[in-house]
Amino acid sequence: MGRKHKATTSPTQKPFWRAEIDNDAEWIAYFDRLTEIAISLFEWEGLPETVDARFLELSLFRDGYAVFFRDDVLGDLALRCMIGGQWDVYDIPEDRRAYASNGYNNSLTQENSVLIFNNMLHTNSILTIRNFAKRLAAIDRTIDTNVNAQKTPVLVICDEKQRLTLQNVYKKYEGNSPVIYADKSFDPNGIRTISTGAPYISDKLYTLKTQIWNEALTYLGVPNLTDTKTERMVKDEVTRMQGGTIASRYSRLMARQQACEQINKMFGLNVRIDYRDEYKEGDIIDRENPKEEEKPEEIGLQEGSVSE
């Protein structure tokens, strides 16, 4: 019989695997944060109690579409679905099969169900969010590497026999020992040091990370300021800067509003949807036409920076 070899991880492999774990953890953290924002942007009103708005948004986020229909037993539902069959003149699939994780499934048609799409392209958002999460995580890990390089800026080259001695010397150095002793066998001429000279660029990387984070917020339709000017900003300036954010809202909002109209017509409901706003337009100070009792103050909308 062949010998069984115990799987082991060499000391040189451990740092690599730890780095891989940290990379994955950083990516997951950003992906989760952006996903949470994406699925909580819309406020559904008038949905039946049997419809879960959170599940609906999550389905649209990852699949790009969901189906609304009325079950004879469970009532109105909005579930994930598979589409197929013939397509109508507007390229909308006529056959849909709703399904759930518990095994529920229901064969539907255009006559008894409405497809809800994530945007006007009928695509999902998960791929774009994955890309943003990957870019943000890569910058964060680069910042960590750059900061760590500031802690160990010197590479020491020595004989193998002197490694333990140097490690003990360094421990004393780190411990602020007032005197470091060495025996007669210690050969200082056999030691060379090389400065790694890693420049500190973490501040620039953090600025880049903030810009990419704001780009992700703009894609999602979340108001943010990319201009870091220190003086007060007036209403018209903010409105112009938010043009990209507002434009990013149209596609997903229009697709959902279109579905609401079809649902209301087919099932006699009064379902409505709109974006949740982080601030009201009246909160922005119009410095060009201020009221007498108002003093020009900084608007309540701050740069969408990333919190650590």
Q: State the CATH number of the domain containing residue 268.
A: 2.40.500.10
What's the whole-number mean pLDDT along residues 206-228? 86
| Confidence grade of residue 35 (pLDDT, cut at 50, 70, 90) | very high
Looking at residue 244, what is its pLDDT?
78
| Confidence grade of residue 292 (pLDDT, cut at 50, 70, 90) | very low
Average pLDDT in the chain: 81
For residue 9, is it within any domain? no
96 against 6, higher pLDDT: 96
Looking at residue 258, what is its pLDDT?
97
CA 142 to chain centre: 17
| Confidence grade of residue 69 (pLDDT, cut at 50, 70, 90) | very high
Q: Do 133 and 263 belong together in one domain?
A: yes
Answer with the one of 173, 195, 217 that is the final residue of a domain: 195
Q: How many domains does the chain have?
A: 2
Joined tokens for residue 234: 């007036």
Q: Do 119 and 165 belong together in one domain?
A: no
Q: Do 91 and 215 belong together in one domain?
A: yes
Q: Do 36 and 112 belong together in one domain?
A: yes
Looking at residue 147, what is its pLDDT?
87
For residue 215, is it within any domain? yes
CATH classification of the domain holding 181:
3.30.1350
Q: Using one digit for the tens of pLDDT, what is the confidence trace for 191-202?
A: 666 666 778 899
For residue 74, pLDDT over 70 is answered with yes
Looking at residue 21, what is its pLDDT?
85
Answer with the one of 195, 211, 246 that is the final residue of a domain: 195
Joined tokens for residue 242: 């938010």
Q: Do 29 and 70 belong together in one domain?
A: yes
Using CA atoms, how far apart are residues 153 and 13, in angstroms rounded to an integer? 23
Using CA atoms, how far apart are residues 9 and 223, in angstroms rounded to an integer? 48
Q: Do 52 and 185 belong together in one domain?
A: no
Q: Do 172 and 282 belong together in one domain?
A: no
| Confidence grade of residue 219 (pLDDT, cut at 50, 70, 90) | very high
Q: Do 48 and 112 belong together in one domain?
A: yes
For residue 203, is it within any domain? yes
For residue 183, is it within any domain? yes
Q: Do 175 and 204 belong together in one domain?
A: no
Q: Do 55 and 104 belong together in one domain?
A: yes
Answer with the one of 133, 166, 195 that is the final residue of a domain: 195
223 against 90, higher pLDDT: 90
147 against 103, higher pLDDT: 103
User: CB of 140 within 8 A of CB of 209?
Assistant: yes
Full-model pTM:
0.74
Q: Using one digit for the tens of pLDDT, what is the confidence trace for 104-123?
A: 999 999 999 999 999 999 99
Looking at residue 194, what is its pLDDT?
64
For residue 283, pLDDT over 70 is answered with no
For residue 12, is it within any domain? no
Q: Using one digit for the tens of pLDDT, what is the confidence trace for 244-275?
A: 788 888 999 999 999 999 999 999 999 999 99
For residue 114, is it within any domain? yes
Joined tokens for residue 144: 């960590």
Joined tokens for residue 128: 């774009």
For residue 10, is it within any domain? no
Looking at residue 248, what is its pLDDT?
87
Q: Do 64 and 170 belong together in one domain?
A: no
Q: Do 161 and 95 belong together in one domain?
A: no
Closest CA to 57 of 36, 82, 76, 75: 36
For residue 227, is it within any domain? yes
Domain encompassing residue 102: 21-153+199-303
For residue 208, pLDDT over 90 is answered with yes
